[in-house]
Each structure stands twice: as C-alpha cells, then as structure tokens.
Amino acid sequence: MKNKILIGIAVTLLGGLFAVCAYFGIRTLIRKQDPVEMSVAKFTELEQGEWVTFRAKYALESASYTVKHSINGVIPTGTEYYYAVFTDDASGMMIIRADKNWYSRNFDDEGVAKDEDGCLVTGFVRSTPDGTDRTFRLYRDKLQQSYKITISLQANHFVDTIAVKISILQIIIGVIPFLAGIIFLVCFKTGLVDNQLDSRAGKTFLIILILGFIGYAVVVCHFLSYV
C-alpha cells in the first residue's frame, strides 16, 4: 500500500511537471504563428507575452551585454547575449537577446545592417532581468552624453529572438522525467527492478539511469539560465 501511494505521488508530480512545461512551451510556439509587425520606433508599445517582428537598420557592438551563468562559479550552464538596436534617427533604443554571432552576421563594423532593408528581428517579448536593464540604461546615458542626443529606451522589456529554443527546452524538460517515470513504473510492475538489479543488465540499466539524471540536471540548469 505504501509503495502504491509513493508511486501515485511520483506519477502525479511528473505528470504535473510535464503538463506545465508542455503548456508554456507549446503556448509560446503557437503564438509565433501570428507575430505583431512593428517598427523600432514603436518600441514603447512592447507588451510582455507577445511575438513581434520588425527590421532594424542600426545596432551598436559596444552597446552589447554578455551574461555568463555557472554553478558555484565553476560549472558553466549558459551564456546570454544582449544587443541594442536603434531607430533610423537613433532616437529610440530597443534591447534584444540573440545568439553569439548575431551582430557580426547581420551588421557591419559601423553598425549598419548588411541587408539594405534592415535586419529582420522576430522574437518573444519578455521582462528584462535585473542588472541587464541597468546596464542598458548606462549605455543609453553614455551615448546621449557622447552624441548630445536624446534616446528613448524601453528597458523593462526585451525581444527574445531565441524564444523557440527556450520553448523546445521547456518541452524537453517536461518530457524526459515523464518518460523516465513511465519506464521505471513498467520495470517495477514487471519485477525487473527487484529481479534483475544485481545482474549485469540491471547494473548497466542503473548506470544509464544515473547518467540520464545527470544529463537532465545539465539541461535544467542550462534552461534556467535563460528564463
């Protein structure tokens, strides 16, 4: 009876984790089908939780920000890359998150988009983490002092161009323990856990299970670095 209760609790927790992760991951991907078209000039109209798409003609490599994550400062779990894009008259500034080579792939050394129509940016609007918003406010202030202009900045939100990757990681995080729970339940019900654990196959299965949990922990830490 006690074992059945424990199994029931475990299945409920794993099922709940799968449902939550799948819900948020799939919901974000579904919203991508209908992104809001906008211009950098309308950066103040960003609303958290929506997909937007626009073209940016200018960016500034010096106004970029890298955030490195690790466990106890030893084991790296992920690196975030934030960039600033600007309106055509440089009066507005928007924060985006992209991959490491996004700037060099889309802009020249002077910060002008390689595509004459501008760099196409599509992403999910999220709240800007503490620290990142302050950094870009400092960038904005320095630019204003250097060029004697006024620059508007929506520092509370940023456009996440790697949101699809994050959503897929969310779904994976939910699926892995759910499938592992089903496999373990089948093994327990069929007696494989009790009868075969001391055999070579059982020990191999146990090693694979441990390595799987370690891999899962790495995926979770990597994912948490981006949300």
Give the least confident one: 24-33, 54-63, 183-192: 183-192
pLDDT (tens digit per residue) in 103-136? 999 999 999 999 999 999 999 999 998 888 899 9
Q: What's the pLDDT at 2?
A: 52
User: In this structure, what token pair is assigned to residue 131?
Assistant: 């620290």
Domain-wise residue ranges, the chain: 2-27+166-224, 34-162
Q: What's the pLDDT at 112?
A: 94
Taking residues 196-217, what's their average pLDDT? 69
Average pLDDT, the chain: 80
Other Cβ atoms less than 10 A from the Cβ of 80: the count is: 19
- In CATH, the number for domain 34-162 is 2.40.50
Cα 196 to its chain centre, rounded Å, is 40
DSSP β-bridge partners for residue 127: 157
pLDDT (tens digit per residue) in 1-34? 555 565 566 667 666 767 777 777 787 888 777 7
> Do the beta carbons of residue 135 and residue 93 sit within 8 Å?
no
Band of the pLDDT at 71, cuts 50, 70, 90? confident
Report pTM: 0.78
Q: What's the pLDDT at 159?
A: 93
User: In this structure, what token pair is assigned to residue 65?
Assistant: 């920000």
Q: What's the pLDDT at 119?
A: 94
